[in-house]
């Protein structure tokens, strides 16, 4: 025999009452209760609770601050990541721009001086070459003039190459490495900002604060809920119908819900039909006892109607069959 433990005794009693209420129903009215699906808001990172911005029973708007944890270390990490990114970006910019204007001007001046020296040495070599044919200058002097001309030409070529390199900036592999460093520091900054932002949690939608689980100053472990929310869209009615009525209820069908003291009936829409019997002991499915089976049905309210309802509230449900 299936028994109920003390914590679930009331649930068993409610189930028994619902089954009893359904057993003799022939008018399309069924007993049920309001059920809420709660949203547990928890920080992904741990820390001391420095600001609990809501209290139990508050109605909050979407985007409203719920609570905040201490985030000094995360703020420091953001500042460090910003400086690291600025440094990496400066290095990339420096490699991309090449030498400074004054350094370029210096190389250009050196190149012009080298060209002047080359012109002089080239003229001197040409004169000595002519005189060498008339045996006026020695062969040694001619070789020295040729060597000077060649050295000046090499100097011009070297400075021209240096100037071109200076204008190009860093090498492609060095620039690629600097670009990768910038991307890495950007990702590090994004991660630091994410950690900083996660220490503050906001309401995901217009909702009611069902409960708060910590007090200001307490340590909150990562993943531990701090605030419990009950959005109106998460309220629904659960009611039970006998097996003989089950085939007549469809998804999307409308239901009228009433409760003690209600000034009006509330409209709900069937969104779930259980695939198995609820709250019944094992039975043999013959024609005599299968009529004892009941199935759970769920129906949701509009946000406006849900605002007047509370989880656990017993209700009567009428549905057109």
pLDDT digit string, tens, across residues 256-285: 999 888 888 899 999 999 988 865 555 555
Closest to 162 in 3D by CA, of 98, 76, 224, 228: 98
Scanning the structure block, which residue is given the tokens 């071109």?
A: 164
What pLDDT does 279 receive?
59
> Which top CATH class is 41-70+199-230?
mainly beta
pLDDT of residue 19: 46
pLDDT confidence of residue 31: 87
pLDDT for position 180: 94
Q: Across residues 95-117, what is the average pLDDT? A: 83
First to last CA, the chain: 35
pLDDT in tens, 47-76: 999 999 999 999 999 999 999 999 999 999
Mind listing the pLDDT tens digit for each residue in 24-53?
A: 454 558 889 999 999 999 999 999 999 999
Rounded average pLDDT over 227-236:
94
Side-chain-side CA neighbours of 236 within 13 Å: the count stands at 16
For the segment 168-225, what is each residue's pLDDT rounded down to a tens digit? 666 778 888 999 999 999 999 999 999 999 999 999 999 999 999 999 999 999 999 9
Q: In what order do the strands lie in the sheet containing 219-220?
A: 200-202, 65-69, 47-52, 219-220
The confidence band for 286, taking pLDDT boundaries of 50, 70 and 90, is: low
In this prediction, residues 249-259 reach a mean pLDDT of: 91
Q: What angle do CA 192, 198, 200 make, to 5 degrees?
A: 130
Q: Which residue has the higher pLDDT, 305 or 227?
A: 227
Q: What is the mean predicted confidence (pLDDT) over 75-99? A: 89
Choose between 4 and 69: higher pLDDT. 69
Give the pLDDT of residue 12. Answer: 43
**pTM of the predicted protein model:** 0.66
The structural domains of the chain, with segments of one domain joined by +, span: 6-36+232-319, 41-70+199-230, 79-193
Q: Which two tokens stand for residue 230?
A: 């009950």
Q: Please tell me the distance from the alpha carbon of residue 308 to that of residue 276, in angstroms, as a whole number.
A: 31
Report the chain's mean pLDDT, rounded to a whole number: 83
Q: How far apart are CA 187 and CA 298, in angstroms?
A: 45
Please state which of the four CATH numbers 1.10.3720.10, 3.65.10.10, 1.10.150.120, 2.40.30.170 is assigned to the domain occupying 6-36+232-319: 2.40.30.170
Specify the pLDDT at position 28: 59
pLDDT at residue 304, as a whole number: 83
pLDDT (tens digit per residue) in 129-181 = 777 655 666 778 877 888 888 898 998 888 888 887 777 666 778 888 999 99
- What's the pLDDT score for residue 4? 37
DSSP state of 223: T
Q: What is the pLDDT of residues 80-89, one digit of tens each?
A: 999 999 999 9
Q: Which pLDDT score, from 0 to 100, does residue 208 have?
A: 94
DSSP E strands, the chain = 29-36, 39-41, 47-52, 59-60, 65-69, 200-202, 207-212, 219-220, 227-230, 235-242, 254-258, 266-277, 294-301, 314-319
């Amino acid at each position: 025999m299936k028994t109920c433990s003390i914590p679930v005794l009331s649930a068993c009693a409610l189930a028994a009452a619902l089954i009893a209420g359904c057993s003799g129903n022939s008018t399309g009215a069924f007993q049920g209760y309001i059920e809420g699906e709660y949203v547990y808001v928890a920080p992904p990172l741990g820390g001391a609770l420095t600001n609990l911005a809501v209290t139990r029973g508050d109605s909050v708007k979407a985007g409203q601050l719920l609570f905040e944890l201490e985030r000094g270390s995360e703020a420091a990490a953001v500042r460090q990541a910003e400086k690291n990114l600025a440094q990496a970006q400066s290095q990339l910019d420096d490699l991309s721009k090449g030498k400074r204007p004054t350094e370029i001007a210096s190389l250009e001046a050196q190149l012009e001086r080298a060209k002047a020296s080359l012109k002089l040495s080239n003229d001197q070599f040409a004169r000595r070459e002519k005189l060498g044919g008339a045996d006026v200058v020695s062969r040694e002097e001619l070789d020295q003039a040729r060597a000077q001309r060649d050295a000046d030409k090499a100097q011009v070529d070297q400075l021209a190459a240096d100037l071109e390199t200076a204008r190009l900036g860093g090498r492609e592999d060095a620039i690629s490495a600097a670009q990768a460093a910038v991307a890495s520091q950007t990702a590090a900054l994004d991660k630091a900002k994410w950690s900083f932002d996660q220490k503050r949690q906001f309401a995901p939608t217009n909702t009611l604060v069902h409960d708060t689980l910590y007090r200001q100053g307490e340590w909150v472990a990562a993943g531990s809920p701090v605030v419990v929310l009950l959005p109106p869209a998460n309220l629904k009615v659960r009611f039970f119908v006998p097996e003989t009525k089950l085939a007549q209820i469809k998804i999307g069908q409308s239901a009228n819900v009433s409760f003690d003291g209600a000034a009006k009936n509330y409209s709900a829409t069937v969104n779930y039909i259980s695939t198995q019997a609820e709250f019944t002991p094992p039975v043999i499915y013959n024609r005599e006892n299968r009529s004892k089976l009941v199935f759970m049905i769920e129906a949701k309210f509009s946000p406006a109607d849900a605002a007047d309802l509370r989880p656990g509230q017993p209700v009567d449900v009428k549905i057109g069959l």
